[in-house]
Structure formats: C-alpha cells, structure tokens
Structure 1
Amino acid sequence: MGGEMSLRTFLAELEKNNPTEFLRIREPVALDYEISALAMEMDRRKRSPVLLFDNVQGSSFPVLANLFASRRNFAAALGIGEEVLIEDLARRSDQVIEPVLSKTGAVQEVVHRNDAADLGKLPIMVHFAEDAGRYITNAIVIAKDPDSGVRNASFHRMQVKGPRRLGTSLHSRRHLWNYVERNDAKDQPTPILIVIGAHPLFTFGGLWKGPINVDEYAVIGGLMGRGLDMVPALTVPLEAPAHAEIVIEGHILPKLREPEGPFAEFTGYASERSTQHVIEVTAITHRRDAIYHDIVPGISEEHTLLLAVPQEARLLRTLRQHYQNVTKVAYPKSGTCRMHAYIAMKNPAPGQAKNAAAVALGDDLSLKMVVVVDDDVEVLDDSDVLWAMCTRMQADDDISVIRNAMGAILDPSNRGGLTAKMIVDATRPAGHFPQRHTFPAQAVARARELMTRI
C-alpha cells in the first residue's frame, strides 16, 4: 500500500523540496483577519508561498493557508511537472479505485462527542469585514446517497452558529442538495462528515464533478493511484479519511432553515445568497497534533485556483470528446476563475471555434464568456489572449451573444438567475494571414538554460 498519504506528508515534501516557498511564521498573529490579510498581500505582490502559522493567538492548533495558491503545488501533489498538470488531472479523473476500510486511524486519536464537541476550540476565523461571522472555508462534506449509498464529497462554506451548530449553503444544487431534498421529504436528517485538512488529492476529489451514481471515494482513489484509507465514523453511518487532520461529524437537519451569510465569495463580493441549511454537530475527532487547514475565501489566488484547475481538467476532457484539436484550456483569474474560459485549438476549421465554445457554455452554466484562440497563444497569459483578440478578431463577425441563458447564481450581475453569454472567435482568419514572429527552438532552449544561471 505504501506510506501514509496525508496533508502532513505532503507538507513535509514541499518544505524539503522547495523551502523558499514554504514559510513558517512564528510571530504571533490574531485569528481574525490577519491570516487572510497576509495571504491577500502575498497575492498583490505576486508571491505564492505556503503559509504555516505556528503561533495563532488563542489557539493550540497551527494554521495552514495558501497551500493551493500556485499551480506548482497542484502539480507537486500529482508528482508531475506543471506543464502537464491539466492533461494528467483529466486522465486521472476517469480512473476509480475502491477505498480500503480500517478499524482505526490517526484522525480519531482525539475524540470529543456530544457536548464536548465544541467548535470554539478550533481556530475558525473571520476572514473579511463583511463576513457574517466565523467560517470554516476548507470544509469538504462527505455524505451518502440515501437510496444507493454512493458517497459524495463536496465543498461548502460553514458559518459557526454555536458550539455545536453550523449554517451552510448548498447553492450549487448538485448531489448533496439532492440527498438533502430526498431526506427532507421523509423528515429525516442527512448524516455528514466535514473533513478539514487532507492530502491535496482528496481535496481535488471534493471538487470533482461527475454522475450522481459514481462513488467519489473511488474517484479520490483513482487520483491517488491507490485505495483511500478510511475508518468508520463514531456517531454517523459514514466513513472518514483515516489520515485527515480534523473531522466534524453531524447531521443536516431536515426542513430547518436559519439566516446564513453574507460571505466573501470568489466573485470578489460579499454574497448574501444562501440555502440556509443548518447542521448539528455530534462529534469532533482529530490527530493529537492536528493542523487546521484554512482556505482564504473571496478572490484570493488560492480560492480561485481551486475553482480553476479541476474545472480546466473537466472541460478539456469534455471538449476532446468532440474536438481532438483542442490543445489547452484555462479559466483566468480576470474572470474569477469561474465565469470566463479560454480555449486553444490547433488549425480549427471554419466555424469550429464557435462550435467548441458552444460546447463549453453548455457544459458549464457558470461561464459567461468563452474566447477561442489558436495554439500559438498561451491561454494562461491574459495579455497573450487579449493580443489575439486585438489582432485576429473583428467584433461584427467574431462575437456571438446568447441572451437570457442560465448563469451562475453567485454572479452579482445576473438577472433572476439569467445572464448573457458571449463567444469570441479570436483565431486567425481563413486565407492568407501574417505569421507571428518566433525563435528557433534551439535558441529558446538555450535562453531558458541561461536563465537558470543568471
């Protein structure tokens, strides 16, 4: 089976292999605002180190932030180079390996049940001034289909309402929403686990989108290349990842709704939209020296990249089912890593760029704009895409607008859930067209070699 695959083993590898991008902060920091403010300041300075805070005031737990603020760390989790990140993630997303059940696991070294399960003992913070309160942002919710027993893993924000009470929003209205709706109809609670701090490949599994009949613990196993180690939960009929840092056990209560939010969302705005579901906590388990992993919300580099990278892999896989000449896709930060997409194609036939963009819009309802470019344009570079739009596009022929389509609920500009969608064909026009200036491959390789020494 190999050694333990956990958050802490991954952090140890990162610190060993790239110590300049792993910052241990031993100065005292306040729990509220200061951690998120530092991460956002790193973003502004175009820096993306992992931040591990060893001295958080009022907490015995170290706090981890900024783990996913660079594509470099996504690639490291997969053990590959950054240049093949999306290709590899797309390939692994089609694989499944069943989980492995054990009797005990490190995540249950410390157990707090019922009234002893106090959320106030965890370093749950206020991130932004507009937030309604303290939020668990790295909350991967595990639940089972009430009929088939298939497991689902998904991210949902969690507002602390009391020592054993959380408010959450299921506004993505996907599988967990479906489970809760069915249980509500029977006036039954929905058992859940909230996983905080796991190997990054477990996190990727929480962002996977696929059919409702696929067990997502098996998807996580496929990403890991081995079965996920799990242990029986103590108070709910579910299985917890054995090597996680912290797990909260509980139930989503049937038919009960309470105000939740506002909360700083990926759009850069404080969102008041919420389904207002309520969770009752029945137990908290954790490792003896647990690390609390926080994701700075809002439009932070970490939050937006977590949205972008798995969705890029999904969209690449979808597009290639129709067009093998799609070479690359990107969800740019300028489009919140959610509402704009760039697609690169090799020698697209006339009209093919618009067809590919239409497939993307149909696959991801959150998209508002899709720009298609040739494969000589770097879709991870906004300026290169804008250059292609400037020099290869004419607005009267190359822009298409679809009115009153379903859009992202969290888009503050949407009109009752409806939005306009835009397709931009920024590929080279047919016929004779100037060539982009280039260098011989040997000269580029030599320049890159020199850059490593100067």
Structure 2
Amino acid sequence: MTDDLRQYLKLLEERQQLRRITVPVNPDLEMAEICNRLLAAGGPALLFEQVIGSPYPVAINLLGTVERACWAMKMNHPQDLEALGKKLALLQQPKPPKTLPQVIDFGKVLFDVVRAKPSRDLLPPCQQVVVKAPDLDLRQLPLIRPYPQDAAKIITLGLVITKDCETGTPNVGVYRLQLQSATTMTVHWLSVRGGARHLRKAAARGQKLEVAVALGVHPLIIMAAATPIPVDLSEWLFAGLYGGGGIHLAKCKTVDLEVPAQSEFVLEGTITPGELLPDGPCGDHMGYYGGVEASPVIHFHCLTHRRDPIYLTTFSGRPPKEEAMIALALNRIYTPILRQQVSEIVDFFLPMEALSYKAAIISIDKAYPGQARRAALAFWSALPQFTYTKFVIVVDKNINIRDPRQVVWAISSKVDPSRDVFILPDTPFDSLDFASERIGLGGRMGIDATTKIPPETDHPWGQPLTSDPEIAQLVDQRWQEYGLGDLDLTAVNPELFGYEID
C-alpha cells in the first residue's frame, strides 16, 4: 500500500470536505479554537497553509466525522467495517472449516494476510531531507498547544515505534509527546502499553530504548495503530489488512527501527531508562487538564522528512473530537471480534458522550438466569481497552442500543437496583480519571437491564404493549388515503429529548 497523507487530502478536497486556510494562523491556541468549533458542527477538515513560527503547513480534523474515518479505511459506510471485523475475528480464533463455503472464506482471509505483508522501500520519500544534530530543532515543527493551561506544545498523531529487545517484535502506538527542549520530548503512555513494556525490558538489560516517531501518515495507518485487538499480528500487518495491500516500510537512518516510507516526518531518538521529566498539565480526553507526571524523556538526534512536508495533528478533549470519531468507526470493527470472545453478545455500543470507552451498552440474546452478569464480566476482559470501562449496561436483543430513549426505558423498567446492579471495587483504573478516590484504582459497575426470568424473579413479567398486527397493516395501506403521505416519520421530535421548539 503506497497511499499517503497527500492522497487522502486530495480525496477530501474532491469530496468538498477540506478547506484551505490561507491567512497566517498561530498553532498556539488559535488553531485548536478554530478546529474545535468545526468539530462540534461536523465541519470539514482543515489545511493551514501559513503557520506562524513554522515553514510547514498543518492538516487537522481529517477524521472529524465517522464518514471521513470510513473513507480513510477505504469504505463508504460504517456497516462496511463489520465485514473487516469478521475477517479479523476469524484470524484471532480460527475454527476448522467444515463446509466448502467456509473453506473458501478461510482461504480468502489467508490470501489477504499474505497480501498484507509489508515490504521495504529502498528510496523512501520520508528520507528526502535529513537533519541531524546540531542542526536539529524540534521548535521548527508546527506543534500545537490546544488549551491555555497546557504546559507546552505537543505531538498527538505521531506513531511511536519501539522494539522488544528480547524478541525483536515492534510496537506501534499513538502516544502524546510534550516538547521539553530543542531536542527532547517526554512521552505519556500508560504502564500497560507496548512502549512502556519495551522500556522496562530495556531497563532490565541496562540498555537504552530506541524510538522512532512517524508523523503525517495516511489516516488508515493511524487507525490500525489505535486498534488494540488481541491478535498476534503486527500493526503493520493490520494496516495492510485494512488497506488491502502491504504498506511500504523504510529502515531508519540512526536507529534499528522501521517506519512507513510515505511518512511526512520521522523523528529518531533514544530513551535512557530512569531519566524522567515533568509532563503536563495537558488537556485530555476526559475533558479536564491531566496532572503533572514524571515521564520518560526521548532524546532526538535525527529528523528526516519529505520535500515540502505536511504536518498532521489533532487534540484531545471532551467529545466531539477526532479521537471519538475514530472510536465510533472502530466500534464496528470490534463488534464481530467481541461476539467471538463473548458468544451471547448480539451487539455493543460505546457512546461518544461517555468518552468512547467509559460506558458500554451490550445487547444479549438472553437464555438463562445470570447471563447478563456473565456477559458484563466477560466484556471487561475481552479486549485490553475495555479494562478501563466503568459502566456496562446489558439489555435484551430487541433494544436498539444506539437509541438512548430505548436504553433509558430498559434501565427504568427492568432494573431493581438492589438486585440488578453489581460493583467491582478497587480494580486497576485509568490514571486520568479524577472521579476515582485513588488515582489508578477504582470501581466498575454492571447494570442488568434485561427482562428477568426465574429464579431472578419469582413473579411473571408484564406483557409488553404492542400494536394489533392487522390494524397496523390496515393503517399502512391507508396512509396515503389519510392525507399524511407527506409527513417524515423518520424525523425525531425534539420534545422527546427535552428541547424547546422555537
């Protein structure tokens, strides 16, 4: 796959989803303020062509809608992502095919894996220009500072690449980096992430950890790196599966790591275990400023980039933000994999308003008592990112989990808090969640909002209200005759959500 950031920008422009800003704009606060207003309105992507303090243009809000996230995955509708999820689910726990169609389907998946294998580019565009110390100055990059109390400028959409010193297996993660000096940045990653594990292993051997940061890649690769699916495949192979062909990699100039050959910028450096600097405060996805944490320091000694490079960035905060749109798109990919992990799950949804991972709504095909609780417990351990989900609401399969009215009705009509709510105290937790009494340790709540069956209850459940099917059919047939054919019955009455009508 040779797709790059420039091709995606061209696609957005052709579809009238890109605006070029030709006047000078400051990356300190002003750029994020402009973008934040467009994110709230589902507005277009932006390309700032004149950035104050830097010679490089900045692209932002490329994935600011679910539609654009799907385009990045070379798909037109969110529903198309489930087909990809089914493919990845088959790779995770393949079952022996029993019929000819199953044999054919499995053969297709294996062919896709072979086709997705990355290749090496000997003359990579990302190394058209090479800058080494003492000429390297990270302050020349158009790093943004989104919020007024942020401690410094940051990198947000860089692929941070490290390697396991024991196995040689690479890890690709999307972590926030904070500018510390002309040649250093701190990296903010959770202890469970791959980069942090690699650093601990390097420390045990008394070695420095080599790091590469690829900036300005095709958004498809970013989404592959942001997909924490427990399949024994590299992020590069994921990107190839997503894109329908292997991506081109390039060997770094000064470290033993590989990066996407089409990157706009590549930073190369090392981390000395135990060397820490204060990182933060910084606006985070929870909608607050994160605290100050001692974080590993990356010493960069080499920068390579394309001719006339484009810098790609984003920022976190209370939804809607780009990260929330990415999560909504990836939600579709997770669904088939989650069904394979937890067989009773029919569908699941991570609402954007719940930060795309703090609350999950699950529907199940209930067959026995206690099944909702079992499904909630299985969900928490199914995929790594669900470790930090605080609330799991389980409903019956006939509930539309993406309709908040139906979910609230299920909770209100089917839940007895003394029976149907259970809490797991003192579990490992997100250190950015200030709601916890002790940072890094908190509780989780499960809510069984399914219809109860014996012995969960000792009395019969009420009969749900439904229309008479014959009358409903009669009304369908006579709708035009009533003179109501011009009414849009798919529109939502705003009064249902408590809005006032002008």
For normalisation by structure 2, the TM-score amounts to 0.81
Three-state SS of the structure 1 residue aligned to 2:237 is: helix
Residue 306 (structure 1) aligned to one of 305, 326, 332: 326
Name the structure 1 match of 2:236. Answer: 217
Q: 1:127 Cα shift?
A: 0.9
Q: List per-residue Cα deviations over 1:208-264 (Å, max 9, x = no partner).
A: 325596432222222222111011111111112011111111112222111111111
User: CA distance change for structure 1 residues 191 and 274 in 2, over 3 Å: closer, same or farther?
Assistant: same
Name the structure 2 match of 1:74. Answer: 69
Within 5 Å, give how 1:126-165 maps onto structure 2: 126-165=145-184
Residue 270 (structure 2) aligned to one of 251, 254, 269: 251
Residue 401 (structure 2) aligned to one of 368, 371, 379: 379
Three-state SS of the structure 2 residue aligned to 1:13 is: helix
User: CA distance change for structure 1 residues 215 and 275 in 2, over 3 Å: closer, same or farther?
Assistant: farther
Cα distance in 2 for partners of 1:307, 1:257 equals 31
Q: List per-residue Cα deviations over 1:1-45 (Å, max 9, x = no partner).
A: 6xx3112212212222x31x322222332111112112222244x
Name the structure 2 match of 1:353. Answer: 372
Name the structure 2 match of 1:422. Answer: 445
User: CA distance change for structure 1 residues 129 and 163 in 2, over 3 Å: closer, same or farther?
Assistant: same
Does 2:238 correspond to 1:238? no
Cα distance in 2 for partners of 1:178, 1:305 equals 28
* Matched AA of 2:326: L
Name the structure 1 match of 2:52. Answer: 57
* RMSD (Å), alpha carbons: 2.9
The question of whether the paired residues in 2 share the 8 Å contact of 1:93 and 1:223 is answered with no
Three-state SS of the structure 2 residue aligned to 1:32 is: coil
Does 2:241 correspond to 1:228? no
| Count of matched residue pairs | 444
Three-state SS of the structure 2 residue aligned to 1:98 is: coil
Cα distance in 1 for partners of 2:411, 2:332 equals 21
Cα distance in 1 for partners of 2:46, 2:398 equals 36
Three-state SS of the structure 1 residue aligned to 2:388 is: coil
Three-state SS of the structure 2 residue aligned to 1:362 is: helix
For normalisation by structure 1, the TM-score amounts to 0.89
Name the structure 1 match of 2:27. Answer: 31
Q: List per-residue Cα deviations over 1:258-305 (Å, max 9, x = no partner).
A: 111111111111112535100011211112122111112222421233
Residue 368 (structure 1) aligned to one of 384, 390, 393: 390
User: CA distance change for structure 1 residues 312 and 419 in 2, over 3 Å: closer, same or farther?
Assistant: farther
Deviates more, 1:76-85 or 1:98-107: 76-85
Cα distance in 2 for partners of 1:83, 1:376 equals 21
* Matched AA of 2:314: I
Q: 1:312 Cα shift?
A: 6.1
The question of whether the paired residues in 1 share the 8 Å contact of 2:187 and 2:296 is answered with yes
Within 5 Å, give how 1:248-397 maps onto structure 2: 248-272=267-291, 274-300=293-319, 301-307=321-327, 309-310=329-330, 313-314=333-334, 316-323=336-343, 325-346=344-365, 349-363=368-382, 364-397=386-419
Unaligned residue ranges in structure 1 (runs of 5+): none
* Matched AA of 1:6: D
Three-state SS of the structure 1 residue aligned to 2:213 is: strand
Cα distance in 1 for partners of 2:357, 2:294 equals 21
Name the structure 2 match of 1:8. Answer: 6
* Matched AA of 1:39: C
Cα distance in 2 for partners of 1:296, 1:89 equals 27
User: CA distance change for structure 1 residues 447 and 65 in 2, over 3 Å: closer, same or farther?
Assistant: farther
Unaligned residue ranges in structure 2 (runs of 5+): 92-112, 454-460, 478-484, 492-502
Deviates more, 1:253-262 or 1:430-439: 430-439
The question of whether the paired residues in 2 share the 8 Å contact of 1:66 and 1:296 is answered with no
Cα distance in 2 for partners of 1:9, 1:448 equals 42
Equivalent pairs: percent with the same residue? 27
Q: List per-residue Cα deviations over 1:375-417 (Å, max 9, x = no partner).
A: 4433334444223323443333322222222222211122332
